[in-house]
Amino acid sequence: MQQTYRIAARENREKLVKGLGWFSLGLGLCEIFAPRALSRLIGVRPHTGLMRLFGVREVVSGLGILTQPNSADWIDARIAGDAMDLTMLGGSFFSERSNQGRLALATAAVAGVTALDILCSKDLKEGPGTQSVLAPGGPGAVHLRRSIIVNQTPETLYKMWRNLEQLPKFMSHLLSVQNGEGNRSHWVAKGPGGSRIEWDAEIEEDRPNEMISWRSSPNADVESTGSVRFEPAPGGRGTIVRVEMHYRPPAGKAGALVAKLLGQSPEKQIAIDLLRFKQMAETGEIARTEGQSAGRQRSTSRKYDDLIRA
């Protein structure tokens, strides 16, 4: 099973590298031969000479990626170009001649591609034989801590969380979890820009009805250690669920920053997932507003809105 996962991860990386190469080549040709049309499309003031210069850079990077797919150097060149693009787009927000709506969409798209470039560069540099250990508080590590009171017993909540294959029901960023041998499992999650992030994890400590702790396997796309605890709330008011994580996202804190730009902040994801867990535990279902004409940007609960903004 482990070998199958490695082969799948390698194939996904190869597809991503080729995709970035062709994307860079296509974008570069558009910038060279249709700079004015592209400027109007993204909502910025036309700068024909500068746009064509960016196009040459993209074409060179694209050809380099396609001819040397196992080298991270050309992907790093793309990352440097992404930084230039984001700087130019950021400055365009202050121009009276810019289309703010189109500019915002273009900026989000570039940020998404930047996240993919960073992820791909990290994967190429580490290679299939790299062994890494996550040290909480180490370089690029992020520390998260959240808690919520759920009106259920610790026994019920422990069983829900311990059934790993059911976690995607309330963890919106997860696509699937598959149980492996022993305490091992394989996780697939949504990544920035529509990408997929996969890793293996192992349960390190399992105290029924009290606590579960885990650690990702070496070479994981997302290195992490964490725990979830179930403590009886004072006065018999249910159970306090405490989640604590130390993790290193793809490209460290830079990757986490890009995720925040895309509205995928891990802090907010955990807060939302805990609320979904609470709803499922207490009512057996998760309230949804997708497709409803009465859906609103704010909920009817001030506490909920304050938690999401926190």
190 and 230 assigned to the same domain: yes
User: Do 149 and 114 belong together in one domain?
Assistant: no
pLDDT at residue 203, rounded to an integer: 93
What pLDDT sits at residue 216?
Answer: 87
Q: What is the pLDDT of residues 158-177, one digit of tens each?
A: 999 999 999 899 888 788 99
In a shared domain, residues 158 and 300: yes
Give the separation between CA 246 and CA 119, rounded to whole angstroms. Answer: 19
What pLDDT does residue 207 have? Answer: 94
Q: For residue 196, which amino acid is it?
A: R
300 and 153, same structural domain? yes
DSSP track, 229-261: EEEEPGGG--EEEEEEEEEE-TTHHHHHHHHHH
Name the stretches of the chain with pLDDT < 70: 1-13, 125-142, 191-195, 219-222, 247-266, 287-310
Provide DSSP, 19-73: HHHHHHHHHHHHHHH-HHHHHHHHT----HHHHHHHHHHHHHHHHHHHH-TT-SH
| Half-sphere CA count of 23, side-chain side, radius 13 A | 16
User: Is residue 132 one of the residues assigned to a domain?
Assistant: no
CB 54 within 8 A of CB 81: yes
- 250 domain residue, yes or no: yes
Alpha-carbon gap, residue 231 to 225, rounded angstroms: 20
Domain check: are 120 and 9 in the same one? yes
Q: Please count the residues of the chain.
A: 310
Residue with tokens 């400055």: 91
Q: Rounded distance, CA 102 to CA 98, Å?
A: 9
Domain interval for residue 152: 142-288+295-309
Task: Specify the CATH number for the domain of residue 246.
Answer: 3.30.530.20
pLDDT reported for residue 158: 96
Q: How far lies 95's CA from each of 41, 45, 77, 89, in Å?
A: 16, 8, 28, 10
Q: How many domains does the chain have?
A: 2
Are 152 and 226 found together in one domain?
yes
Task: Examine the domain organization and report whether 121 and 249 are in the same domain.
Answer: no
Compute, in degrees rounded to 10, the torsion defined by CA atoms 97, 102, 107, 109. -150
